[in-house]
Amino acid sequence: MRFPSRATGDGASLITGYKLKSLRDKFGTGSATQFGTGSDRNSAKRFCAATATQRPPHQTDNPSCPPWIVVHFGIPIFSPPQRPANAIIQGPVNRSLITPKTAVPLDPKLVTRRSFLRRGAVATVAGLGIYAFGIEPRWVSVDHHDLPIPDLPDHLVNATAIQISDLHVGRGVEESYLRRQFDYIDALKPDFVFFTGDYLDNATQWHTDKGIKLLSHMPRGKLGTACVLGNHDYGGSTPKVAKNAPNTERLINAFEDQGLNLLINDAVELSGLNVVGLPDLWYGNFWQGSFQKDFARDLIASTANSGATITLSHNPDTADLPIWDGYQSWILCGHTHGGQCKFPIIGAPRLPVANYNYVSGKYQIEGGHKMYINRGIGHSARVRFMARPEITVFRLTSAGKQAKA
């Protein structure tokens, strides 16, 4: 049996099991396009009925039997000279005859893989932005650590000490948010409270007035409280320090009036625990012109030799200064905000310290002293990522006896 490679000019083709002549004799000589209209439509229907048993099952359920019926293996009975634009192709398709064209979907509801990935990326970025700017800056972490201290008196073993830092009182940190943290700390009833600087976001008169008003709500320890100032408490930059010096003096006096033991190159004994407070490394000794290393060394040595000691210093870079001389206890710091934004692999891309190893948490420093860096409660710019604000709760433990210098 012979099969044609394409339809003849008048639209008729050879059909499996039929001869072309008998087909024309039985149903007329009209072309395929003529079967679709006029009197030849009845002939087409008669042909459909006569050949229904010859067609595969999937082709017998259409009683209208359009003129491009396919009956065996996709071979057309009638092939119109031009297929209508809405023609339905039935049967197998020879894909080797198809050349794919570039097409852009016009239906806006149609989601392609590219648009799905693009929308997913936009949603991810938006979600991270909401988290970093809206959620994490107010999602405070309460971190608990043991703090072993040489020569700690027995009555202070298991005492609790809370460290807070970097409140940045100002327009970016709401007073209601800080008050909630103060109330939480008061509810813990700590034995000691240590504050490690940057109480204000700036030392302008407005910031200073706002900070002095809030000082009365600062949490206190049952056995004592001690504080130091940070670079923002002096103004945050060299030109501002000189300009805002009167405001800084007002803030210092307000700390003293509240009995908060603000220490600037000074020490205080709190129920058997000595606390040394160093000035801010950048601006704390503005009136003296520079950080007084010799004075700080003598102060630390004399205090540590007299018993259990903790040192408060806003800037962690003070741990690398040559002022420790056998000091074996802890330095509590702030300033870094934990990097404020940290990322996998690269860590914190911006740190306000000379030693980029100092980000947050515990450090063992060469020479024997140890340091803890608190991530702070506030911020200058409201954004945090993988560096939640922190309240640190220490349990004081004994580290044995320290050799005297």
DSSP string, 4-29: -SS--TTSB--BTTB-HHHHHHHH-S
User: What are the percentages of helix, strand and coil residues in the chain, rounded to 5?
Assistant: 30, 20, 50
Which tokens hold the place of 42?
């009845």
The residue extents of the domains of the chain are: 20-96, 121-398
Query: What gap in Å lies between CA 71 and CA 65, rounded to an integer?
Result: 11
Beta strands in 108-260 (DSSP E): 141-149, 160-164, 192-196, 224-228
Query: What gap in Å lies between CA 150 and CA 146, rounded to an integer?
Result: 13
The pLDDT score that the predictor gives to residue 107 is 63
The pLDDT score that the predictor gives to residue 41 is 52
Indicate the DSSP class of residue 180. Answer: H
Q: Which fold has domain 121-398?
A: Purple Acid Phosphatase; chain A, domain 2 (3.60.21)
Tell me the Ramachandran region of residue 359: left when phi exceeds 0, alpha when psi lies from -120 to 50, beta otherwise. alpha
The pLDDT score that the predictor gives to residue 378 is 94
Which tokens hold the place of 241?
């320090």
Which tokens hold the place of 185?
């700390």
Q: Spell out the per-residue pLDDT of the chain, length 405, in tens.
A: 444 444 444 443 444 444 444 544 554 544 444 444 444 555 555 555 555 545 444 444 454 445 444 444 444 444 444 555 555 555 565 666 677 777 766 665 666 777 778 888 888 888 888 998 889 999 999 999 999 999 999 999 999 999 999 999 998 899 999 999 999 999 999 999 999 999 999 989 999 999 999 999 999 999 999 999 999 999 877 778 888 889 999 999 999 999 999 999 999 999 999 999 999 999 877 655 568 888 999 999 999 888 999 999 999 999 999 999 989 999 999 999 999 998 888 888 889 999 999 999 999 999 899 999 999 999 988 999 989 999 999 999 998 877 665
Q: Collapsing DSSP states into helix, strand and coil, what is residue 200?
A: strand
The pLDDT score that the predictor gives to residue 51 is 53
The pLDDT score that the predictor gives to residue 71 is 46
The pLDDT score that the predictor gives to residue 129 is 87
Q: Collapsing DSSP states into helix, strand and coil, what is residue 348?
A: coil
pTM: 0.71
Which tokens hold the place of 101?
């064209």
Query: What gap in Å lies between CA 292 and CA 323, rounded to an integer?
Result: 10
Indicate the DSSP class of residue 404. Answer: P
